[in-house]
Structures are given as structure tokens and as C-alpha cells.
């Protein structure tokens, strides 16, 4: 009996479990392919965009030159955040360095949210898909044993077939979970390297835009 025949003969719960595993698989693979493409471009563009920034003569020129390399818009939000309007209220508290720290932190969080998109889905699929498959297996074995008991004919052949077919759901759950777990771990390390580079760039950007302190302090004495 094929998997298609097994599903066609299964009840509503069996078909619902199969549909859930199929949806998880499709969603995770689409996300894996998209994030692999996104992070590959981001990882390749970031060194070039950083080099273009440091070769610029001014922040205004950097905004133009970096845009040609920063296709995923990772550095541009950080640079643009430093050129925003003068903050008012409590946002203006502290010196220029503290103000830059706040705006750069907010911009960095928005960029990292873009890179982290989908990680929760991969983690969820990787942790729940085996249990969803196990649910289908348990339910399938229950129905197989019930059918065997009702027929009154118990033999190895009659048990091995239905139970083996029910175990297919466990294999399907693992087949869905393993790529999701691998993608989550690989992308997590990839994002971590990009995040470290962005944090270093944000610190350097804050330093060059912070007015130097007087050697004699603010009082000038």
C-alpha cells in the first residue's frame, strides 16, 4: 500500500496530520531557500559596502556610494539614522555620543529583525514536526489494531503491514524537522557573524561622529 493509499483510507485526523506536515515542509523549505539567498547576498555585500563607506569623503557621499553595494539595506539604515532631525524631549538628553548610541541601537535592531525573520518558524517546525508525526503514528497503529481485533484474525502479516504503514508518519515528521533544525542552526551562525560586523560598524560610526572632548574638560580650566 502506498502513502497516497494510506492517506486516502485514513480518517480525518490522519489526513489532518499529513496536511499539517506538508504545510510545515513547504513553509520551511521556502523559508530556507529565501534566507539562504538573502544571507548569501548580505554576507557578500557587507564587506564591499563597509569599504565604500570608509573610502567616502563625507557622510552625504557615503549614503550615495554605499547604496550601490548595500543591496539588502543593512548599512544604509545605520548611516541614515545618524543624519536624522535633532531629537527633542528626553531623546535629546545626554551628550552627542549618547544620542548617537540610542539612534544607532534602534536602527540596528530593525536591521537584525530583518535578518532574524523566519528563525522562529524554523525552530517551531524543527521542534514540533516529530511530535505531529508521532501523533499520526499512534493514531494509525490504534486504528490498525482495532481493525485486526474486529476481524478476529491475528497474524504477523496482518499486523506488520498496517503498523509499518502507520510508522511512515513518524518518518515524515523527522523528514520535515531535520531540514528545519539544520537551517535554523546554520542561519543562526551566519546571522551572528553579520551581526558582529554590524555592531562593530555602528561603534566606529558613533566614534567618528562624536565631537572630541576638550582635554581640559567642559569648564575649560
**3-state helix/strand/coil string of 69-118:** CCCCCCCHHHHHHCCCCCCCHHHHCCCHHHHHHHHHHHHHHHHHHHHHCC
Domain contains 220? no
Residues constituting the chain:
221
Question: Quick one: cell of 8?
Answer: 486516502
What's the pLDDT band for 215 if we cut at 50, 70, 90?
Answer: very low
Closest-CA residue to 139 (of 15, 3, 1): 15
Give the domain range for residue 43: 3-85+98-209
Query: pTM (2 decimals)?
Result: 0.80
Count up the domains in the chain and report the number. Answer: 1
pLDDT tens-digit readout, 104-117:
999 999 999 999 99
| 91 is a domain residue | no
Determine the pLDDT at residue 219: 44
Distance CA 186, CA 181 (A): 9
Q: Is 216 within a domain? A: no
Cβ neighbours around 75 below 10 Å, total: 27
Distance from C-alpha of 103 to C-alpha of 107, rounded to nearest angstrom: 6
Residue 63: its pLDDT value, please?
86
Average pLDDT, the chain: 83
Show the cell assigned to 110.
Answer: 530593525
**164: in domain:** yes
Q: Would you place residue 85 in the very low, low, confident or very high pLDDT band (cuts 50, 70, 90)?
A: low
Of the listed ranges 59-73, 80-94, 173-187, the least confidently predicted one is 80-94
Q: What is the pLDDT of residue 138?
A: 85
* 183 neighbors 28 (Cβ within 8 angstroms): yes
- The pLDDT tens digits for 164-203 are 777 888 899 999 999 999 999 999 999 999 999 999 999 9
Considering only 40-49, 77-86, 143-152, 192-201, which range has the smallest mean pLDDT? Answer: 143-152
Of residues 79 and 84, which shows the higher confidence score?
79
Q: According to the model, what pLDDT value does residue 28 have?
A: 96
Provide the pLDDT for residue 168: 84
Q: Is 90 inside any structural domain?
A: no
Model pLDDT, residue 157: 61
Q: Has residue 170 been placed in a domain?
A: yes
d(CA 41, CA 182) in angstroms, rounded, equals 20
Runs of H (alpha helix) within the chain: 3-9, 12-54, 59-67, 76-81, 96-116, 119-151, 156-209
Percent of the chain whose predicted confidence (pLDDT) is above 70: 79
| Mean pLDDT calculated for residue range 126-131 | 94
Q: Compute how many other C-beta atoms are within 10 angstroms of the C-beta atom of residue 96.
A: 11
Which pLDDT does position 56 carry in this prediction? 87
Contact indicator for 78, 46 with CB cutoff of 8 Å:
no
Q: Say if 116 falls within a structural domain.
A: yes
pLDDT of 46 > 80? The answer is: yes
Question: What is residue 176's predicted lDDT score, i.e. its pLDDT?
Answer: 95
* Residue 28 counted as domain residue: yes
Q: In this predicted structure, which of 7-16, 68-77, 177-186 has the lowest mean pLDDT?
A: 7-16
Amino acid at each position: 500500500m502506498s502513502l497516497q493509499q494510506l492517506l486516502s483510507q485514513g480518517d480525518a485526523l490522519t489526513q489532518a496530520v499529513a496536511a499539517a506536515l506538508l504545510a510545515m515542509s513547504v513553509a520551511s523549505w521556502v523559508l530556507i531557500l529565501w534566507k539562504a539567498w538573502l544571507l548569501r547576498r548580505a554576507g557578500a555585500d557587507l564587506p564591499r559596502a563597509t569599504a565604500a563607506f570608509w573610502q567616502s569623503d563625507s557622510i552625504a557621499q557615503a549614503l550615495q556610494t554605499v547604496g550601490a553595494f548595500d543591496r539588502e539595506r543593512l548599512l544604509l539604515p545605520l548611516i541614515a539614522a545618524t543624519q536624522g532631525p535633532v531629537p527633542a524631549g528626553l531623546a535629546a538628553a545626554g551628550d552627542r555620543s549618547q544620542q548617537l548610541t540610542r539612534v544607532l541601537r534602534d536602527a540596528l535592531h530593525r536591521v537584525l529583525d530583518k535578518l532574524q525573520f523566519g528563525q522562529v518558524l524554523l525552530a517551531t517546525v524543527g521542534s514540533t514536526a516529530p511530535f505531529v508525526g508521532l501523533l499520526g503514528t499512534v493514531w494509525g497503529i490504534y486504528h490498525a489494531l482495532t481493525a485486526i481485533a474486529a476481524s478476529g484474525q491475528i497474524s504477523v502479516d496482518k499486523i506488520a503491514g498496517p503498523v509499518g504503514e502507520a510508522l511512515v508518519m513518524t518518518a515524515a515528521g523527522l523528514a520535515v524537522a531535520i531540514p528545519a533544525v539544520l537551517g535554523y542552526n546554520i542561519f543562526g551562525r551566519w546571522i551572528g557573524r553579520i551581526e558582529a560586523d554590524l555592531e562593530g560598524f555602528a561603534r566606529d560610526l558613533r566614534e567618528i561622529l562624536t565631537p572630541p572632548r576638550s582635554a581640559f574638560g567642559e569648564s575649560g580650566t
